[in-house]
Amino acid sequence: MALSPQGTLSVETLDGSDPDPPEGSSFPEPEAERHTDTILLGSSEPSEPSSPASPGPSRELIAYEVKVNERNIEDICICCGSFQVHTQHPLFEGGMCAPCKALPLAKDKFLGRLFLYDDDGYQSYCSVCCSGDTLLICENPDCTRCYCFECVDTLVGPGTSGRVQAVSNWVCFLCLPFPRSGLLRRRKKWRGWLKAFCDGESENTLETYKTVPVWKREPVRVLSLFGDIRNELTSLGFLEPGSDPGRLKHLDDATDVVRRDVEGWGPFDLVYGSTPPVGHACDHPPVWYLLQFHRVLQYARPRPACQQPFFWMFVDNLVLTQEDRTVATRFLEADPVTIQDICGRTIQSVNAVHVWSNVPAVRSKHSALVSQEALSSLAQDRRRMKPPAQGPAKLVKNCFLPLREYFKCFSTGLTSSL
């Protein structure tokens, strides 16, 4: 088995169905699935652990505490083994302590990593602990989740990660037709748990939408203002090459657009807008694009009682002033994040944009590499510099990857297209 460039182990699987069944149905028993070609590992009870060599909570003793001491796994942090539970894990039965929720050794929190994706189209961290160096990939075409060796061996059973590497077909613990694998038990209605966790732990006021089961996902309908993102969404599989032009409506000028126009073109699931790229002639000041985006966004929003997932993104190519960015934050009710393309360690090697969005986990992995002072200097000098190789749409392309949990994808070969 070869490791991906991100240190992720790729393990093949056959097509699998979404773990959340339609209303009125139930999970099949494990025995009912034995005739399939999918290999289900670690689905049995773990063997009873031996007595611990020393007292005190640790991850290696989770099985002992549950099986021998009969401690409820909800009272144990399944990420580290601590008994000081602060909240419940959103995907699997078990607790989470405050340090694991905050990830003190990392620059971001557990919540910030839940929807973070790598360039290969798979999630960047383990779905249990949101850490991990070497990860097992679920290759169900409709799943992008990963699991670290330690979580798999600790919670499913010792040696499980090795057995997964030895087989050619594997689906993850959120895709299996039955909910339990060793001590790792998928929560009932875990999508609702995930939404509640995100809404409760998020530092902003933007609502998180429930992820959508595979059989309910529809193709995304997009309104693209001032910048065409058709190529980017097609390369990610959200649009089919040569697909219905009505799936993406592109406008270079929104001056004469009224509510009746937007409602007639829609409904839309994603509204995208940006200031013009550096070096492009424009007939309006930069803040005009922000104000027009905000106006059209109000026309495109679903009615308040509607539960339809609705996403938006506005990208500034470092042309808005500080005052303009303050206006954007107030109007869009979200703080901006900086997405950077790092080609070196000097300011001339940086291409960056400011982004306001409600897409989960929109941010840059390289945000700590370049200071805001450096970005300000870059914005001032940009008109004298060679235009960046990547336009704004290409720079934020991977930020759309979390939408795979909400909308139909027509392509699974993300690695080759990224």
Length of the chain: 418
Looking at the chain, the whole-number percentage of residues with pLDDT higher than 70 is: 71
Rg of the chain over Cα atoms, rounded to whole angstroms, equals 23
pLDDT value at 360 more than 60: yes
Torsion on CA atoms 312, 315, 321, 323, rounded to nearest 10: 10
CB atoms within 10 A of CB 153: 18
pLDDT tens readout for residues 397-407: 888 988 999 99
Whether the pLDDT of residue 268 is over 70: the answer is yes
> Does 368 have pLDDT greater than 90?
no
Where is pLDDT greater, at 180 or 47? 180
Pick from 94-108, 299-313, 388-402 the range whose average pLDDT is largest: 299-313
Q: How far apart are CA 269 and CA 248, in angstroms?
A: 10
pLDDT in tens, 212-259: 998 899 999 999 998 888 888 888 888 877 666 668 899 988 889 999
Whose tokens are 């979404």? That residue is 18
Every domain of the chain and the residues it spans = 60-200, 214-405
Averaged pLDDT, 20-42: 36
Report which of 135, 142, 155, 176 is spatially closest to residue 89, judged by C-alpha positions. Answer: 155
Predicted TM-score of the model (pTM):
0.77
pLDDT at 28 over 50: no
Q: Which structure tokens are listed for 340?
A: 């950077």
Q: Where are the alpha helices (DSSP H) in 266-371?
A: 286-300, 322-332
Phi, psi dihedral angles at 316 (to 5 degrees) = -110, 125
334: phi then psi, degrees, rounded to nearest 5: -150, 145
Return the higher-pLDDT residue of 96 and 19.
Answer: 96
Please report which confidence band the pLDDT of residue 116 belongs to, taking 50, 70 and 90 as the band edges: confident
Q: In what order do the strands lie in the sheet with 311-316?
A: 248-251, 222-225, 270-274, 311-316, 350-357, 337-342
Phi, psi dihedrals of residue 23, rounded to the nearest 5°: -55, 140
Fold of 214-405: Rossmann fold (3.40.50)
CA 323 vs. chain centroid, Å, equals 31
**For range 179-184, the mean pLDDT:** 90
Average pLDDT, the chain: 76
- Position 208: which residue type? T
pLDDT at 394: 77
Number of H helices, E strands in the chain: 13, 13
Confidence label for 317 from pLDDT (cuts 50, 70 and 90): confident
Please give the pLDDT value at position 379: 56
